[in-house]
Amino acid sequence: MANPGETTAPTLLAYAGVRRVPSPRIELFDRPGFLGRDLCASLIALIDKDRRPSTIADPNGDDTFRTSETCDLPAAEPAVEELERLLFALNGIDPAHGEPVQGQRYAVGQEFKAHTDYFEPTGMDFAKYCSVAGQRTWTFMVYLNDVEAGGATRFKVVDKMFKPEAGKLVCWNNHRPDGTLNAATLHHGMKVRKGVKYVITKWYRERPWGW
């Protein structure tokens, strides 16, 4: 039984249209058409309104590691409230365990090199990011638009790539079944070659979000 900050494969697969990547190394799923185009357009407008240069935890000296733009979406916005409602219907995770929804924008040439979403326990910023709400459990990401070329999300370890399509959701468990962090979740937000890519990301934590 999952704790309130987690979901399970059976819960996700009970939602119509959800598909699991057939790999024993990772719990990785997608669901085309999870969001309608009107809702995607509303979320894109919110991202464009407040975007700023993206940052990373534990800087590694590579100034080109994450070159996108980012913003935290206001929880009281109707589009964000509808997104949260749909996510809860899908995953059943207690909303109190969720981080604020983050939006990202990738212009031509921008990327997020191969990384994991969990915080490295040996990292210099681990205590800063995990002391209150604990480690990240699940990641839910939704592409908000079709991209003319590039911008795929590549999971190299399990040889799976997702092409951006408006409304498509991709989600994964950042842990293995035994509770240890899963390095097979390493993924690369690849460079956009033509057009612009918009996505939203929702992360959940072991404990309620208390920031």
1: confidence class by pLDDT, cuts 50, 70, 90: very low
The Cα-based distances of 30 to 92, 167, 169 in angstroms read 16, 11, 5
Q: For residues 25 and 23, give the distance between their C-alpha atoms in angstroms, rounded to a whole number.
A: 5
Pairing of strands 197-205, 112-115: unpaired
Spell out a b/e string for 100-111, using b for 16 or more CB atoms within 10 Å of the CB, else e: ebbbbbbeeebb
Residue 32: pLDDT band (50, 70, 90) is very high
Q: Which of 66-80, 140-154, 186-200 has the lowest mean pLDDT?
A: 66-80
Classify 92 in phi/psi space as left (phi over 0), alpha (psi -120 to 50) or beta: left
Q: For the whole prediction, is pTM greater than 0.75? A: yes
What would the CATH number be for the domain defined by 9-205? Answer: 2.60.120.620
- Asked whether the beta carbons of 141 and 189 are under 8 A apart, the reply is no
